[in-house]
Structure 1
């Protein structure tokens, strides 16, 4: 999968949220780090069209995120910082089934779409529970299951370990590391992204470093100290 930014800039109400940037991404694991308000989330939301560029264009394997929005969305999944915000049905199992049902699957076909993902994430015991009954880590896994059943090629995570206790954090980290799909992860956890293929550093709405994970985290530590 290739993600390409061509002179992309984003401004909201006259304020620049992301300075013009051109780059191409194809690695399987990409980390995005930076202080709050540095442009990380704006950058990530450009990839699946949640935010549209003010100028320039973003493509996903040649598909324009604006002109080909529906096709881009079908190939990407997004896990928000608070996954409870994207679980909208009363039972976890119903929420996971919502995407395949919207595509017309039912009966055995629906079960065949859901069962492998549920088994893969080890969340069969959560299907008949309600979101408010789940821990933060369980909510992350439930939201991820609802995304994975739609068979995206790329999953984007916005601070997936934020506010998790150590046990849940480790479970989520292991799950993301084991994903077959491409993953782009916004995180403040430098140890988490240290093994990624490529890490981007943002500061004051600019991409200020792009490269090796070890060099990127060292650059970021120097930037903020």
Structure 2
């Protein structure tokens, strides 16, 4: 991954009266990066900043050298976001049309895009998916379509927001294999620590700050220990109140 990577420089993000981030600085260049932390820690907000969906109130965000505010229109060629719920992302009724839309959105002629989408599926052993109705696919299959729709455009970075949240074990295994096979930089936000435990870098976000940043096994273990400690403390308080 090029040295420029993903950069946040002294970023502040405010929503209403809440400061989601204040003075956040990060430089993300590793091929596989995980984001862990409680709900509300800032994981999805970080993704929205990187994709240009949110503007920083202070500081600067750059994606492979592009400023996410002044050069926002160029971002889709370099970074793609997969939402937690595939139904929030899928637009077209068939798989081939959904993949082709990713290409036409970047200026490809419709017929050319549709042919490329079919070839892209065939190369992955999914030729029979081209004409399938998205509405008839399982949750895991729709999630797979969303990832394919990002990959067909070959952005340098993929951001995946809770991609394993609603998948059964076989679907999780297929998605993990799909991610392992991709050459792009992948950043995964998840509550399922096993899916990022072996990543070269994991960030633990807490209250808009980086609580820990390091190898996956180390950071995941620290976060899991913290969750257990808080759960035990809550249990003890609950017991004392009812003693």
Q: Which TM bucket (shorter chain)?
A: over 0.9
Give matches, 1:11-90, under 5 Å.
11-90=14-93
Identify if the C-alpha distance between structure 1 residues 209 and 179 changes in structure 2 by more than 3 Å, giving closer, same or farther.
Answer: same
Q: Distance in 2 between matches of 1:63 and 1:101?
A: 22
Deviations 1:158-180 (A, max 9, x none): 01111111111111111111111
Structure 2 length-normalised TM? 0.86
Identify if the C-alpha distance between structure 1 residues 64 and 195 changes in structure 2 by more than 3 Å, giving closer, same or farther.
Answer: same
Identify if the C-alpha distance between structure 1 residues 188 and 121 changes in structure 2 by more than 3 Å, giving closer, same or farther.
Answer: farther
Q: Secondary structure at the match of 1:167?
A: helix
The higher relative CO (CA closer than 8 Å, separation ≥ 6) is in 1
Confirm or deny that 1:104 pairs with 2:108: yes
Q: Distance in 2 between matches of 1:204 and 1:171?
A: 32
Provide structure 2 residue ranges, at least 5 long, that are not aligned to the other structure: 229-243
Confirm or deny that 1:211 pairs with 2:210: no
Deviations 1:122-170 (A, max 9, x none): 4323222222211111001111111122221111000111111111111
Count of residues in correspondence between the two structures: 224
Deviations 1:165-220 (A, max 9, x none): 11111111111111111111001111110111110001122111111111110111
Structure 1 length-normalised TM? 0.93
User: Which residue is 2:226 aligned to?
Assistant: 223
User: Which residue is 1:8 aligned to?
Assistant: 11
Deviations 1:84-120 (A, max 9, x none): 211111222111111223313344x435632453135
RMSD of equivalent CA atoms: 1.6
Provide structure 1 residue ranges, at least 5 long, that are not aligned to the other structure: none
